[in-house]
């Protein structure tokens, strides 16, 4: 093993190992292995130490100012993705540490000693950069980059570091300065590219005092004798059916000023800024480019031209065209609640997502899923005192419903309840147990600002489907003085949007809360999860986290591959928790039938899912094949988590009735919660119903579905609705 430093982040590199799909017996097992890097991110008083193991293990970090350590962080939860948040450190101090993990067989792995140094608690601001204009050149191009000078805590001259890259993420920096004392730097860059640049500062007398990176500026350089940019022919939207498909992109021909032959290069990306193009044609002579792409989401593409005889003469990029695949690979089954006159769409039911590539975090973390407890806001009794819900499968997926029941919660008038499972943490490698959180009358903030300092209070003051700037990485909340900080919790209404191509991220950063220190600095206080699918209400506990008389709070949205989440409303509740009375109620009737495609508009960064309980013809591209549950009574299949599923195909509807319950006591209000234990399978890799999942499996697909007489009888009696996959044309 060896260590290297990357800016203010230390990483410990370890040799990778090969993962096993199914769990080994202890006799064949060995100590857990660390995959890739152990990383350390530091502030002046905290360190976050993260690593991944090849099997679930405990999380422990030994640390101290010497190799004798003396302090220990420990978390006994078994996980593959480990994160240790160490607090109370001294600014500007070197700490030794070692990572230790213990697996289920009590095998122990301990890394070699390593060290990190906390940052100084002095601050330095990033420079303000001067926009660099675009340029033209017949060869290489010299750009003069300029920025403002900044003051240092010591009063010494500041030094500056500049980076230039053709990737806005600075994944492989093309040009970098040394630490220089001036406020400008000249760099020679290639013609025919867009270049991105940024700068940071440090105190020359105490080089551990380093600013954050400045904002990023960009400039383009094109050849002065290049052909003009082509014009893309708009690509129409499509419906792929959840499988890979072929597109053909076309554009106009252009003429070179010198009459030389012209070549073209096209790019496709799931990001409108093309920071990481997913497909590139290379230079070709034709005016069309065909390629096979994965299904789902929005795609962007552009094209440029060059002189084939003088290849440095490159045009600017064309305008950007986009097209949308209206068929997504799946998104959780839809939940409708009876509200008196009919069924209204409420939200979706998140469950273990199976059928995805093994690299997807939700697939890796199946073991962390537990039943979802979904608060049924607006649910009303029908004329006979019963309550009823409907689950509809309208996506490109298969749903395996194992158990459903109703949790009846009676709580004092004036209070409301929130389910802890509304907060999803599966992407971060763990799941908290279910609890009921009570709130009183949460109050909105007096001000909210985004990263740019813009006020966004109006968008977040109420639950109305109107969100603030979805691109801001954080918001700053001011609730005034929090009178009862020992009971404080943030009440957040929001939803998540899923798209593996549109929202890529190479980093995994869990959303987190920051508070103000006594020195007036932002310090990380705790991490939390994102909304579990479509619109959910979360209660994020911040009791005991305030560190000063400044009660402002900063919420960081985090980063995770394929997920972007948004806040519809946010409020603070510091009321004292109240006592609730709960009762579990089993269903009295459950019927599976064909309901057709649900008319809906999927959740995006503008609105949550909009749907109505109506019927449209099936989307034939979303069909799957094999043996599904026959239509009719399926009540006994939902009574326990026993791997006897009601299996829903695209277009199916499951209607469930619960018996009347005696009225709540005087002064109490009633809220219903649906308890759902299910799996749903994306059709990204396979459109077959098999292999069947089962409770407690570690990965999917993996053999192990019960083969006893009881399950054989279940399959014979219920899984009789068979669809054969049509032969390929």
pLDDT attached to residue 20: 34
Angle at CA of residue 625, ends 620 and 630, nearest 5°: 100
Cis peptide before 586 (omega within 30 of 0): no
**Contact criterion met (CB below 8 Å) for 439 and 576:** no
Which helix (H) or strand (E) is 321 found in, with range? strand 321-325
Range among 320-329, 354-363, 654-663 rated most confident: 654-663
Burial 634-666 (b: 16+ CB within 10 A, else e): bbebbeeebbbbbbbbbbbbbbbbbeebeebee
Torsion over CA: 565, 571, 576, 581 (sign): negative
- Does 612 share its domain with 649? yes
How many C-beta atoms lie closer than 10 Å to residue 164's C-beta? 22
CB atoms within 10 A of CB 720: 12
Of the three residues 531, 548, 573, the one that is the final residue of a domain is: 573
Q: Is the pLDDT at 408 greater than 50, yes or no? A: yes
Total count of residues recorded for the chain = 729
CA 299 – CA 126 distance, rounded (Å)? 34
In this prediction, residue 90 has a pLDDT band, given cuts at 50, 70 and 90, of: confident
pLDDT 10s digits, 369-387: 889 999 999 999 998 899 9
468 and 526 assigned to the same domain? yes
Residue 711 region, left (φ>0) first, then alpha (ψ -120 to 50), else beta? alpha
Half-sphere exposure of 69 (CA within 13 A, CB side): 14
Determine the average pLDDT of the residues in 566-579. 95
In a domain, 430, yes or no: yes
Same-domain pairing of 593 and 704: yes
Burial 268-302 (b: 16+ CB within 10 A, else e): bbbbeebeebbbebeeeeebebeeebbbbbbbbbb
Single out the residue in 83, 117, 151 at which a domain terminates: 117
pLDDT at site 359: 63
Query: What pLDDT score was predicted for residue 136?
Result: 81
Nearest to 534 by CA among 491, 490, 497, 501: 497
Beta strands in 600-693 (DSSP E): 600-601, 610-611, 626-628, 632-633, 646-648, 652-658, 668-682
Return the top range by mean pLDDT from 463-472, 656-665, 675-684: 656-665
CA 72 – CA 524 distance, rounded (Å): 19
Helices (runs of H) and strands (runs of E) counted in the chain: 3, 50
Residues 6+ apart with CB under 8 A from 206: 120, 122, 153, 154, 156
pLDDT of residue 452: 86
- Asked if residue 236 belongs to a domain, the reply is no
* pLDDT band at residue 1 under the 50/70/90 scheme: very low
Domain contains 382: no
Contact predicate 455/408, CB 8 Å: no
pLDDT at 147: 96
Q: Are residues 423 and 561 in the same domain?
A: yes
227 within some domain: no
> Rounded to an integer, what is the distance from CA 129 to the centroid of its chain?
31
* Distance between CA atoms of residues 602 and 345, nearest Å: 12
563 and 597 housed in the same domain: no
CA distance 158 to 149: 7
Residue 330 contacts by C-beta under 8 Å, 6 or more apart in sequence? 242, 353, 355, 395, 396, 397, 680, 681, 682, 683, 684
Is the same domain home to 708 and 595?
Answer: yes
pLDDT at 345: 95
Which of 121-125, 472-476, 547-551, 693-697 is predicted least confidently?
121-125
Is residue 702 exposed (0-12), middle (13-18) or buried (19+ Cβ within 10 Å)? middle
Residues 6+ apart with CB under 8 A from 385: 659, 660
Q: From CA 706, how far away is CA 693, in angstroms rounded?
A: 10
> For the whole prediction, is pTM greater than 0.85?
no
Given a cut of 80, whether residue 491 has pLDDT beyond it is: yes
- Mean pLDDT calculated for residue range 413-423: 95
The answer, yes or no, to whether residue 24 has pLDDT greater than 60, is no
Least confident of 111-115, 320-324, 528-532: 320-324
In this prediction, residue 10 carries a pLDDT of 46
Q: Are 312 and 266 in contact (CB under 8 A)?
A: no
Q: Which of 128-137, 207-216, 489-498, 682-691 has the highest mean pLDDT?
A: 489-498
Given a cut of 80, whether residue 36 has pLDDT beyond it is yes
Task: Determine the pLDDT at residue 431.
Answer: 84
90 and 208 in one domain?
no
pLDDT digits (tens, 9 = 90+) for 595-641: 998 887 778 887 888 888 999 888 887 899 999 999 999 999 999 99
Do 433 and 557 lie in one domain? The reply is yes
Q: How confident is the model at residue 580 (pLDDT cuts 50, 70, 90)?
A: very high
Q: Helix, strand, or coil here: 49?
A: strand
CATH of the domain at 434: 2.60.120
Q: Lowest mean pLDDT: which of 290-294, 489-493, 654-658?
A: 290-294
Is the per-residue pLDDT at 22 higher than 50? Answer: no
As a whole number of angstroms, the distance between CA 615 and CA 513 comes to: 43
C-beta neighbour count of 250 within 10 angstroms = 16
Averaged over 495-517, what is the pLDDT? 84
- Going from the C-alpha of 532 to that of each of 131, 293, 365, 600, 693, the distances in angstroms are 41, 28, 14, 19, 21
- Residue 240 in any domain: the answer is no
Asked whether 49 and 99 are in contact (CB, 8 A), the reply is yes
Sign of CA dihedral 699, 703, 708, 713: positive
Question: Looking at the structure, do residues 588 and 649 belong to the same domain, yes or no?
Answer: yes
| 589 or 431, greater pLDDT | 589
Q: Taking the C-alpha atoms of 178, 179, 180 and 184 in order, what is their torsion angle to the nearest 10 degrees?
A: 70
Residue 585, Cα to own-chain centre: how many angstroms? 34
Q: How many CA atoms lie within 13 A of 42 on its CB side?
A: 27
Distance between CA atoms of 254 and 38, rounded to whole angstroms? 51
Q: Do residues 368 and 271 share a domain?
A: no
Residue 457 shares a structural domain with residue 545: yes
Query: Domain residues for 30?
Result: 2-117
Residue in 269, 281, 285, 364 with CA at minimum distance from that of residue 320: 269
Peptide bond preceding 701 in cis form (omega within 30 of 0): yes
Lowest mean pLDDT among 268-277, 300-309, 641-650, 713-722: 268-277
Q: Are residues 297 and 499 in contact, defined by beta-carbon separation less than 8 angstroms?
A: yes
- Same domain for 7 and 65: yes
CA dihedral 173, 176, 178, 183 (to 10 degrees): -130
607 within domain boundaries: yes
- Residue 233 falls inside a structural domain: no
Whole-angstrom distance, CA of residue 1 vs CA of residue 358 = 27
Confidence check: pLDDT of 662 > 80: yes
Asked whether residue 402 is domain-assigned, the answer is yes
Q: Report which DSSP code applies to 314.
A: B
Residues with Cβ within 8 Å of residue 169, at least 6 apart in sequence:
275, 276, 506
Q: Is 368 helix (H, G, I), strand (E, B) or coil?
A: helix
Confidence of residue 360 (pLDDT cuts 50, 70, 90): low
Domain with residue 23: its CATH number is 2.60.40.10
DSSP state, 8?
A: T
Question: How many separate domains does the chain show?
Answer: 5
């Amino acid at each position: 093993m060896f260590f290297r430093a990357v800016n203010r982040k230390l990483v410990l590199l370890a040799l990778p190992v090969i993962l096993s799909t199914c769990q080994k017996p202890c006799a064949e097992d060995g100590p857990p292995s660390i995959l890739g890097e152990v990383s350390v991110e530091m502030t002046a008083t905290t360190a976050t130490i993260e690593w991944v193991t090849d099997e679930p293990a405990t999380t422990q970090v030994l640390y101290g100012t010497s190799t004798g350590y003396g302090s220990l962080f420990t978390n006994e939860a078994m996980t593959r993705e480990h994160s240790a948040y160490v607090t109370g450190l001294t600014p500007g101090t070197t700490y030794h540490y070692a990572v230790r993990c213990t697996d289920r067989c009590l095998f122990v792995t301990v890394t070699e000693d390593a060290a990190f140094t906390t940052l100084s608690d002095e601050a330095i601001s990033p420079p303000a950069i001067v926009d660099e204009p675009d340029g033209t050149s017949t060869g290489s191009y010299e750009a003069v980059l300029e920025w403002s000078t900044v003051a240092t805590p010591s009063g010494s001259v500041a030094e500056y570091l500049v980076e230039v890259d053709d990737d806005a993420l600075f994944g492989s920096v093309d040009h970098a300065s040394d630490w220089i004392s001036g406020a400008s730097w000249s760099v020679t860059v290639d013609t025919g590219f867009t270049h991105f640049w940024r700068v940071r500062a440090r105190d020359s007398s105490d080089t551990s005092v380093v600013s954050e990176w400045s904002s990023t500026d960009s400039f383009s350089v094109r050849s002065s004798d290049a052909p003009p940019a082509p014009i893309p022919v708009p690509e129409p939207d499509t419906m792929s059916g959840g499988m890979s498909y072929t597109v053909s992109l076309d554009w106009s021909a252009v003429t070179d000023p010198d009459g030389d032959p012209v070549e073209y290069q096209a790019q496709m990306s799931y990001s409108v800024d093309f920071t990481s193009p997913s497909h590139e044609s290379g230079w070709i002579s034709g005016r069309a480019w065909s390629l096979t792409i994965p299904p789902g989401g929005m795609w962007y593409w552009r094209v440029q031209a060059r002189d084939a005889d003088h290849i440095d003469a490159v045009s600017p990029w064309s305008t950007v065209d986009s097209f949308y695949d209206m068929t997504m690979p799946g998104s959780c089954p839809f939940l409708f609640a009876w509200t008196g006159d009919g069924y209204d769409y409420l939200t979706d039911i998140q469950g273990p997502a199976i059928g995805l590539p093994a690299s997807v975090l939700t697939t890796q973390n199946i073991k962390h899923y537990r039943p979802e407890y979904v608060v049924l806001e607006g649910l009303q009794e029908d004329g006979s005192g019963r309550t009823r819900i409907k689950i509809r499968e309208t996506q490109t997926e298969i749903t395996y419903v194992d158990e459903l029941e109703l949790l009846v919660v009676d709580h004092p008038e004036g209070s409301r309840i929130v389910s802890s499972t509304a907060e999803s943490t599966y992407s971060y490698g763990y799941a908290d147990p279910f609890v009921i959180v009570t709130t009183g009358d949460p109050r909105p903030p007096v001000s909210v600002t985004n990263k740019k300092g813009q006020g966004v209070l109006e968008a977040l003051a109420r639950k109305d489907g109107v969100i603030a700037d979805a691109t801001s990485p954080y918001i700053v909340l001011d609730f005034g003085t929090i009178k009862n900080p020992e009971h404080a919790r943030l009440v957040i209404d929001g939803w998540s949007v899923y798209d593996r191509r549109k929202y890529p991220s190479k980093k995994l950063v869990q959303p987190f809360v920051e508070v103000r220190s006594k020195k007036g600095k932002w310090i990380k206080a705790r991490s939390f999860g994102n909304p579990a699918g479509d619109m959910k209400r979360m209660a994020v506990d911040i009791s005991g986290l305030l560190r000063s008389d400044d009660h402002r709070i900063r919420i960081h949205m985090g980063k995770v591959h394929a997920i972007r989440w948004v806040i519809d409303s946010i409020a603070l509740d510091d009321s004292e928790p109240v006592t609730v009375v709960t009762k579990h109620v089993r269903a009295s009737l459950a019927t599976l039938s064909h309901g057709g495609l649900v008319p809906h508009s999927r959740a995006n960064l503008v609105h949550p899912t909009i749907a109505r309980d109506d019927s449209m013809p099936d989307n034939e591209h979303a069909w799957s094949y094999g043996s599904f549950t026959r239509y009719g009574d399926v009540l006994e299949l939902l009574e326990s988590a026993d791997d006897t599923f009601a299996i829903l195909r695209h277009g199916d509807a499951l209607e469930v009735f619960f018996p009347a319950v005696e009225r709540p006591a005087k002064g109490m209000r009633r809220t219903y919660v649906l308890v759902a234990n299910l799996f749903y399978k994306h059709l990204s890799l396979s459109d077959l119903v098999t292999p069947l999942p089962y409770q407690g499996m570690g990965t999917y697909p993996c053999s192990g579905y019960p083969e006893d007489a009881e399950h054989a009888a279940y399959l014979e009696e219920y899984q009789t609705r068979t669809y054969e996959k049509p032969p390929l044309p």
